[in-house]
């Protein structure tokens, strides 16, 4: 080629490269076809593998991301080299910037039809975490499933399962179905996945629901309800079926938003779900569900009514037709055994008048009805007006203010119950007495009056207005009274708008004026929820004259309250909007701010209103509402705002206003960004600005793109606050590598805490393959915090050389313990590397470091790694180091689902090894955790068989202590976990032959009882007769009496009632046959009543002349022996100095040295001769000294043996001689008998454990 041809060729290539640079920066897709040939391919090398990307795939990727121009990123591109190989072929090497990444591209060019075009592009780079997040967000817009399907495998290989799981929502259904089982554990954006692929999720949950346990169901339920509306709309029948399986194990409250929709689909299924014996379905009840269930028969509605929360039952009744309410509510309202004082009066008021009166009469006839004045008044208020008025009219004249305050609401209730306007008139005449009442009485009456406006007629308004006026004129009026009148005024205002009667509106407006005189404006918040459709126009028409008159007097409170209360409904009221715009000229600044906010609220008129406001007063740009709109929506006004000084109401001519923009910079032009940056720079340098203002200017400067060079000088500012603000701003820089280079210089000085945090922020904008080099200053810093953060970032951001760098830091001699812990902690993100497992195994040998990995939650690992980690914990639990073994066993409580089969054997060995004193309780917790999850009794039976019931030198029956403690906590586990119930029977059977265990076995058997199962419960109670003998005769009754009220929520009168108890569940043992109850509940209640009425054998508990010692009692009959063995002597394995220390620590000031435990025989009190006060003494009993911690085997033994702690002495002992050895300093002298008793108690204190 000639020189002229070469010049022309170079010019053509440079022109094409300019188009290429424009395409990359602006992403103008019109340039795409001019630059890339239709057969162009993009190549890159990733981990040694060639990846070819066709042109169309690259086009979709470019469309999915935001352009550098939109992000406000600076443009930086240049041509490094052009090689012309022939007149039709050339190669170009270019350098360009793509947001946070600097790239070098090698382009193969061909001359096609007179135009140079790219036929191949060679590049290599990995996106930073921040850039990848932008790509993922872009995938959410439009249908880009093909692009997401192609990207996901590579993203998973490079960045792990968590980022791949985030992309899963944008992939096709086929890919989601294939990969969801593998990536479900790592998914965090479940709502997006549920919204796009709810069918796949429902199938995924359904396939795993049959064999799922409690823990698995928690995870599956989170998936099913991630987008509960989509799930209910996709397959409501399947959702109800899955909910019926889940309700036995976990709460199902997540279905509450769609409960009405599901009920309309299948009322019967929802009814069964609500009435489930677990009680977890009751949370789904609400108005939508009740309306959908109205078609059910009365017997089922009755059960639903009982299942409602007590405060919700009246709402349930009001949804039903009045004719059906009595049949549903009467059985519960008139339940035998229910006292009249416990009646739900709000539910009673929801019944029709005749039935309400009949029930009120029946309740008044019961004991506790008419004979208690307070209850009699409440029930009398439900009688006919002719009967109620004389009684209640007399009650409001009583001398006690409290009685009058209680009587007025009853009088109002009686009048409202008649639904007769004439009666309401009589009521208002009676209420005239309130003029001279005290405020508490007046407030109670006014609150009741607010419930009757629907019965008020125009003729009642003068009396009602007089009543409110008297309350406002009272000298002792309270805030609550004024607020109640405001509520009444608002109600009258709405009534006037609904009926069109101006009398109501006029009355409300006059009351509004009187409230305004007391600085109590009318509160119309939430008005848009109360008005029927279109009623806002009638309301405004009723108030129009008043609003115009207020505007003429520059009073805008009612106008703005009305506009604020109507919210979106106010946008269509043109006259109201005009009044709001006029309110901007008010004399009060707070009114102006309020009016500006309301004027700019409507999206349709926001721009025009803003223009009008700024034409009237440009200083309104100082208001945050105006600045937010200019920054994000009206960027055309930026030049006006940034141009120069602005004066007006909110700004002075003498100052230069710097607006506080914090967002929207991606919509600004580079010139606007540069102009605002210069303004902030000037403000930050101003000597007249305060430190806080300069700091804020520097922080805002850091939000702008391309301001790195402007921020650097502030790092050396004299004021530390400004310097640290600059360091923080660099963390958001769009030039992260330059920022890290500057920040690294401060990782070793007193600004390290801020510099390290900013480096962490910058690291998210660095491609992973450059993190190792970029973060080297952190890893080499003398600050331990900086090194820890560098280690964490390498792991979290998936740097390719992260494991190598962390391993080298671990092996470095003299590494600080905290750095070693950080290295171990970081391995949780790198467990797909074998080196990470090796490092974890080495760390496990060091107790000071091992804890950094043992707290790893199972949900952070895939299932194969969970099994490996659980086996690793099993090995640590069997190790010789007690600290590591204890931490490992604590961790095993979360890993039982994936632990190897022989894990139970390791725990049993730890628990039954009597030579170890510090691990058996930790092992017990892990064992009980497995029992609660799996319900397998084999591990417990193995413990029973392996623990020898023998004494060791210097030890007091350690095997019995351990087994006794295990049985105690097993009782709690069985009571609170249905899955653990099957273990109770085998354990009881294995230990029943030994009478010494009968006490704890009885407690275990009662804990396994479930009241919804009639036959097993009756059989369990009857089976206890074989063990409940001697001193244990009364133990079943005590256990049942303690558990029944707690489980069933009532006292004996409720529990033994022929119908159902007040919690809404069936009575114990209720079974239904063909819709009718059998007589089995009566039989069970009879036996249960006999058990509860049975008292302990007093002869077995009779006291002798001297209480024998523990060792003496251990050779008596089995009942006494079992109790004595459970009264273990704690602390025998302690050295004498340790015993003394424990005694001193327990018997400190204000504490007793030990509980004075005595038998449950008759107690007598002897008077102190000096004061006549009573001091505890016990006939023929010596107090058992030695205090055991609550819940320990010793204290449990005291409870089982019929012993109880003695109450503290209440005699007036001298300060120098505390009474009863309690350590409590009480005034006054003590009697001689008291002092002798205290000395004996103190001398017999046993050593604590």
Residue 485 has a pLDDT of 93
Q: Give tens-digit pLDDT for 125-137.
A: 667 888 888 888 8
Q: Give tens-digit pLDDT for 1068-1106.
A: 333 333 333 334 344 434 444 554 444 333 333 333 444
> How far apart are the C-alpha atoms of 1175 and 1167, rounded to whole Å?
6
Residue 1089 has a pLDDT of 52
Burial class (CB in 10 A: 0-12, 13-18, 19+), 803: buried
> How far apart are the C-alpha atoms of 198 and 234, rounded to whole Å?
7
What DSSP element (H or E) covers 979? none
Q: Residue holding tokens 């360091």? A: 727
Q: Give tens-digit pLDDT for 18-34.
A: 989 888 888 888 888 88
Residue 443 has a pLDDT of 93
Q: 1230 by DSSP, 3-state: which?
A: coil
Confidence of residue 925 (pLDDT cuts 50, 70, 90): very high
Residue 553: CB partners within 8 Å, gap ≥ 6? none
In 3D, which of 903, 962, 953 has the Cα closest to residue 929? 903
Residue 1129 has a pLDDT of 44
Q: How many Cβ atoms are within 10 Å of 477's Cβ, its own excluded?
A: 17
Q: Give tens-digit pLDDT for 748-757.
A: 888 888 999 9
DSSP-H helix ranges across 900-957: 903-912, 920-934, 938-946
> How far apart are the C-alpha atoms of 905 and 874, rounded to whole Å?
10
Confidence of residue 52 (pLDDT cuts 50, 70, 90): confident
Residues 559 and 523 sit within 8 Å (Cβ to Cβ): no
**Two structure tokens written together for 1063:** 């919690």
Q: 1215 by DSSP, 3-state: which?
A: coil
Residue 1120 has a pLDDT of 55
Confidence of residue 1015 (pLDDT cuts 50, 70, 90): confident
Q: What phi and psi values does residue 1204 have, to the nearest 5 degrees?
A: -145, 155
Residues 348 and 356 sit within 8 Å (Cβ to Cβ): yes
- Lowest-confidence range among 200-214, 960-974, 1192-1206? 1192-1206
Residue 442 has a pLDDT of 93
Residue 1205 has pLDDT above 70, yes or no: no
Residue 197 has a pLDDT of 93
What DSSP element (H or E) covers 336? none
DSSP letter for each residue of 498-537: HH--HHHHHHHHHHHHHHHHTT-----TTHHHHSPTTHHH
Q: Give tens-digit pLDDT for 831-872.
A: 988 999 999 989 888 888 888 888 888 988 998 899 999 999
Residue 7 has a pLDDT of 61
Q: Which CATH number fits domain 3-125: 3.90.170.10, 2.160.20.10, 3.10.450.50, 3.20.20.80?
A: 3.10.450.50
Question: Average pLDDT of 752-780?
Answer: 89
Q: Give tens-digit pLDDT for 581-640.
A: 999 999 999 999 999 999 999 999 999 999 999 988 888 988 999 999 999 989 988 888
Q: How many Cβ atoms are within 10 Å of 192's Cβ, its own excluded?
A: 17
Residue 1209 has pLDDT above 50, yes or no: no
Question: Average pLDDT of 718-724?
Answer: 92
Residue 706 has pLDDT above 90, yes or no: no
Q: Give tens-digit pLDDT for 869-878.
A: 999 999 999 8
Confidence of residue 57 (pLDDT cuts 50, 70, 90): confident
> How far apart are the C-alpha atoms of 1024 and 1240, rounded to whole Å?
40
Angle value at C-alpha 1013, between 1008 and 1017, nearest 5 degrees: 55
Please give the distance of CA 315 from its chain centroid, rounded to a whole number. 27
Residue 4 has a pLDDT of 54
Higher pLDDT, 52 or 787: 787
Q: What does the mean pLDDT of the chain come to? A: 81
Question: Average pLDDT of 1179-1190?
Answer: 38
Q: Give tens-digit pLDDT for 320-371.
A: 999 999 999 999 999 888 889 889 999 999 999 999 999 999 999 999 888 8
In 3D, which of 989, 988, 994, 940 has the Cα closest to residue 1125? 994
Half-sphere exposure of 804 (CA within 13 A, CB side): 6
What DSSP element (H or E) covers 632? helix 624-632
Name the β-bridge partners of 111: 116
Q: Taking the model in full, what pTM does it have? A: 0.73
What is the fold of 294-383? Annexin V; domain 1 (1.10.220)
Q: Which of 59-63, 314-318, 1112-1116, 1171-1175 has the highest mean pLDDT?
A: 314-318
Residue 254 has pLDDT above 50, yes or no: yes
Residue 147 has a pLDDT of 81
In 3D, which of 558, 605, 626, 607 has the Cα closest to residue 586? 558
Residue 1236 has a pLDDT of 40
> How far apart are the C-alpha atoms of 282 and 259, rounded to whole Å?
11
- Lowest-confidence range among 464-473, 743-752, 767-776, 1236-1245? 1236-1245
> How far apart are the C-alpha atoms of 172 and 185, rounded to whole Å?
19
| Domain ranges (residues) in the chain | 3-125, 294-383, 401-523, 531-616, 863-991, 1001-1096, 1135-1186+1205-1243
Confidence of residue 108 (pLDDT cuts 50, 70, 90): confident
Q: How many residues does the chain have?
A: 1249
The proportion of the chain whose per-residue pLDDT surpasses 70, expressed as a percent, equals 81
Residues 557 and 549 sit within 8 Å (Cβ to Cβ): no
Residue 1055 has a pLDDT of 32
């Amino acid at each position: 080629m000639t020189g002229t041809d070469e010049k022309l060729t170079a010019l053509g290539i440079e022109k094409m490269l300019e188009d290429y640079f424009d395409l990359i920066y602006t992403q103008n897709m019109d340039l795409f076809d001019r630059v890339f040939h239709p057969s162009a391919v993009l190549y890159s090398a990733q981990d040694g593998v060639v990846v070819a990307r066709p042109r169309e795939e690259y086009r979709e990727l470019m469309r999915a991301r935001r352009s550098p121009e939109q992000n406000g990123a600076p443009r930086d591109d240049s041509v490094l080299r052009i090689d012309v190989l022939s007149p039709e072929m050339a190669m170009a090497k270019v350098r360009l910037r793509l947001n946070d990444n600097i790239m070098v591209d090698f382009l193969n060019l061909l001359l096609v039809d007179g135009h140079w075009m790219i036929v191949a592009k060679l590049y290599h780079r990995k996106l930073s975490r921040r850039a990848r997040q932008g790509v993922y967000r872009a995938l959410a817009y439009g249908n880009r499933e093909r692009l997401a399907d192609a990207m996901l495998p590579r993203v998973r290989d490079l960045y792990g399962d968590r980022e791949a799981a985030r992309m899963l929502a944008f992939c096709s259904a086929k890919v989601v179905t294939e990969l969801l089982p593998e990536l479900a554990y790592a998914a965090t954006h479940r709502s997006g996945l549920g919204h796009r692929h709810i069918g796949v999720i429902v199938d995924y949950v359904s396939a795993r629901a049959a064999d799922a346990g409690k823990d698995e169901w928690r995870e599956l339920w989170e998936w099913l309800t991630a987008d509960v509306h989509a799930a209910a709309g996709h397959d409501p029948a399947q959702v109800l079926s899955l909910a019926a399986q889940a309700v036995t194990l976990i709460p199902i409250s997540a279905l509450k938003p769609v409960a009405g929709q599901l009920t309309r689909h299948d009322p019967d299924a929802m009814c069964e779900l609500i009435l489930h014996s677990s009680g977890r379905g009751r949370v789904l009840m609400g108005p939508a569900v009740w309306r959908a269930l109205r078609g059910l028969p009365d017997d089922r509605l009755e059960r639903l009514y009982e299942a409602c929360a007590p405060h919700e039952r009246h709402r349930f009744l009001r949804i039903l037709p009045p004719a059906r309410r009595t049949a549903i509510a009467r059985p519960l309202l008139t339940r035998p055994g229910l006292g009249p004082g416990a009646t739900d009066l709000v539910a009673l008021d929801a019944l029709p008048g005749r039935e309400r009166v009949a029930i009120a009469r029946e309740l008044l006839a019961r004991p506790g009805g008419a004979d208690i004045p307070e209850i009699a008044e409440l029930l009398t208020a439900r009688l006919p007006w002719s009967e109620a008025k004389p009684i209640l009219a007399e009650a409001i004249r009583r001398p006690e203010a409290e009685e009058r305050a209680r009587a007025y609401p009853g009088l109002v209730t009686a009048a409202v119950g008649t639904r007769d306007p004439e009666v309401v008139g009589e009521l208002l005449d009676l209420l005239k007495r309130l003029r001279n009442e005290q405020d508490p009485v007046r407030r109670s009456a006014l609150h009741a009056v607010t419930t009757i406006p629907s019965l008020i007629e125009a003729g009642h308004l003068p009396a009602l207005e007089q009543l409110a006026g008297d309350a406002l004129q009272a000298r002792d009026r309270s805030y609550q009274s004024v607020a109640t009148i405001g509520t009444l005024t608002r109600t009258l205002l709405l009534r006037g708008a609904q009926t069109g009667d101006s009398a109501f509106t006029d009355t409300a407006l006059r009351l509004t004026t009187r409230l305004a005189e007391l600085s109590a404006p009318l509160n119309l918040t939430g008005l848009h929820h109360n008005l029927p459709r279109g009623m806002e126009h009638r309301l405004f028409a009723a108030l129009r004259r008043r609003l115009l008159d207020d505007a003429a007097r520059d009073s805008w409170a009612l106008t703005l309250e009305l506009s604020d209360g109507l919210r979106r409904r106010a946008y269509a009221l043109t006259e109201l909007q005009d009044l709001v715009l006029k309110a901007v000229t008010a004399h009060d600044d707070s009114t102006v701010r309020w009016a500006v906010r309301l004027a700019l609220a409507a999206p349709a008129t926001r721009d025009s209103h803003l223009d009008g406001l700024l034409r009237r007063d440009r200083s309104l740009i100082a208001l945050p509402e105006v600045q937010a709109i200019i920054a994000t929506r009206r960027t055309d006004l930026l030049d006006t705002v940034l141009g120069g000084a602005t004066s007006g109401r909110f700004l002075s001519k003498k100052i230069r206003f710097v607006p506080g923009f914090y967002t929207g910079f991606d919509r600004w032009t580079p010139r606007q960004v540069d102009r605002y940056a210069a303004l902030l720079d000037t403000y930050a340098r101003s000597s007249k600005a305060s430190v806080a203002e300069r700091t804020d200017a520097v922080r805002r400067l850091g939000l702008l793109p391309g301001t790195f060079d402007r921020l650097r000088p502030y790092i050396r500012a004299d004021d530390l606050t400004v310097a640290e603000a600059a360091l923080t701003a660099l963390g958001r820089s769009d030039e992260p590598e330059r920022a890290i280079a500057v920040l690294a210089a401060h990782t070793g000085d007193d600004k390290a805490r801020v510099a390290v945090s900013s480096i962490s922020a910058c690291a998210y904008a660095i491609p992973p393959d450059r993190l190792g080099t970029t973060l080297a200053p952190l890893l080499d810093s003398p600050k331990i915090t900086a090194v820890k953060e560098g280690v964490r970032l390498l792991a979290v951001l998936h740097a390719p050389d992260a494991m190598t760098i962390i391993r080298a830091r671990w092996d470095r001699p003299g590494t600080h313990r905290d750095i070693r812990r950080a290295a171990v902690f970081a391995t949780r993100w790198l467990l797909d590397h074998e080196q990470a497992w090796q490092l974890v195994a080495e760390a496990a040998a060091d107790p000071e470091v091992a804890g950094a990995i043992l707290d790893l939650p199972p949900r952070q690992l895939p299932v194969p790694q969970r099994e490996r980690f659980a086996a690793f914990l099993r090995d640590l639990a069997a190790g010789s180091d007690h600290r590591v073994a204890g931490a490992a066993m604590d961790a095993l409580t979360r890993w039982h689902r994936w632990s190897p089969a022989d894990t139970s054997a390791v725990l049993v060995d730890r628990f039954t090894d009597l030579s170890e004193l510090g691990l058996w309780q930790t092992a017990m917790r892990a064992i009980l955790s497995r029992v609660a999850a799996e319900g397998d009794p084999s591990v417990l039976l193995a413990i029973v068989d392996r623990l020898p019931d023998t004494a060791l030198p210097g030890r007091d029956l350690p095997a019995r202590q351990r087994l006794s403690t295990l049985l105690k906590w097993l009782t709690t586990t069985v009571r609170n976990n249905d899955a653990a119930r099957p273990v109770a029977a085998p354990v009881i059977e294995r230990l029943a032959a030994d009478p010494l265990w009968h006490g704890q076995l009885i407690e275990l058997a009662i804990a396994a009882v479930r009241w919804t199962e009639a036959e097993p419960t009756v059989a369990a109670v009857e089976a206890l007769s074989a063990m409940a003998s001697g001193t244990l005769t009364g133990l079943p009754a005590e256990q049942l009496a303690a558990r029944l009220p707690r489980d069933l929520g009532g006292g004996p009168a409720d529990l033994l009632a022929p119908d159902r108890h007040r919690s809404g569940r069936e009575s114990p043992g209720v079974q239904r046959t063909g819709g009718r109850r059998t007589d089995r509940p009566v039989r069970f209640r009879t036996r249960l009543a006999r058990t509860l009425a049975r008292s302990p054998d007093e002869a077995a508990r009779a006291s002798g002349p001297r209480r024998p010692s523990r060792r003496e009692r251990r050779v008596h009959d089995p009942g006494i022996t079992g109790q004595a063995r459970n009264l273990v002597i704690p602390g025998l394995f302690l050295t004498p100095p340790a015993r003394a220390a424990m005694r001193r620590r327990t018997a400190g000031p204000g504490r007793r040295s030990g509980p004075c435990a005595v038998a449950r025989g008759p107690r007598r009190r002897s008077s102190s001769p000096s004061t006549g006060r009573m001091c505890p003494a016990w006939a023929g009993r010596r107090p058992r000294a030695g205090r055991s911690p609550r819940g320990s085997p010793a204290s449990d033994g005291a409870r089982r043996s019929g012993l109880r702690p003695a109450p503290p002495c209440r005699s007036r002992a001298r300060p120098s001689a505390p009474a009863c050895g309690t350590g409590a300093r009480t005034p006054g002298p003590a009697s001689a008998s008291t002092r002798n008793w205290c000395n004996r108690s103190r001398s017999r204190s046993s050593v604590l454990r």
